[in-house]
Amino acid sequence: MRGMKPSVTVQLPSLLEPVTGGVRKLAASGESLREVLDDLVAREPRLKPHLFNEAGEFRRHVLCFHNGTNTRWLEGLDVPVADGDTILFMQAVSGG
């Protein structure tokens, strides 16, 4: 709809269920990835310290995928998003 920002679906890992009261799928909107993430933490401020560090960067072991693309591979977060896009958060699995 004209004037409305694209709405995307954000999926969270199960470990963050206590933070959101058991919710793992949320909606957020924005013209870019950065705007969507800002909207996400505005809607769920309790998520912010778990996804981002004090410098505003993703925590070291937090992975964020936009439509399957690891956002760490992008030049930045000023990437356009479209209605129906998905953002998936995962924790980096390393070690054994």
Partner 1 sequence: MDVRLMVGTSKGGFWVTGKGRREWAVEGPFFKGWKVTAGLRLAGGGWMAAVASDIYGPAIFLSEDGEEWEQVADGPAYPDGDDRRLRQIWTLRENRGTVYAGVQDAGLFTSGDGGRSWEPVPGLNDHETRGGWMPGAGGLCCHAVLFDHTNPDRVWCGISAVGVFRTDDGGATWIPRNRGVYWAHEDEEFKEIGHCVHAMAQDPDDPDRIFRQDHSGMYRSGDGAESWAKNERGLPSGFGFPIVMDDSTRYLFAVPLEADQYRLPAGGAIQVFRSTDRGDSWHSASAGLPSEHSYGGVLRGAMAVDNLIPGGVYMGTTSGTLHVSRDLGENWKNLPVMLPRILHVSAWVE
Contact residues for partner 1 (CB under 8 A)? Answer: 14-16, 18-19, 21, 45-46, 49-51, 53-56, 59, 61-62, 91-92
Minimum distance between the CB of residue 37 and partner 1, rounded to whole angstroms?
Answer: 15
Which residue, 70 or 91, is less far from partner 1 as judged by CB? 91
Provide the pairing of β-strand 62-66 with 86-91. antiparallel
- CA–CA gap between residue 93 and residue 91 (Å, rounded): 6
Minimum distance between the CB of residue 18 and partner 1, rounded to whole angstroms?
Answer: 6
Minimum distance between the CB of residue 1 and partner 1, rounded to whole angstroms?
Answer: 31
Which residue, 2 or 94, is less far from partner 1 as judged by CB? 94
Which residue, 15 or 27, is less far from partner 1 as judged by CB? 15
Minimum distance between the CB of residue 19 and partner 1, rounded to whole angstroms?
Answer: 5
Angle at 42 between CA 28 and CA 29, to 5 degrees: 20
DSSP state of 70: E
Whether residue 30 contacts residue 5, with contact meaning beta carbons closer than 8 Å, is answered with yes
H helices then E strands: how many in the chain? 3, 5
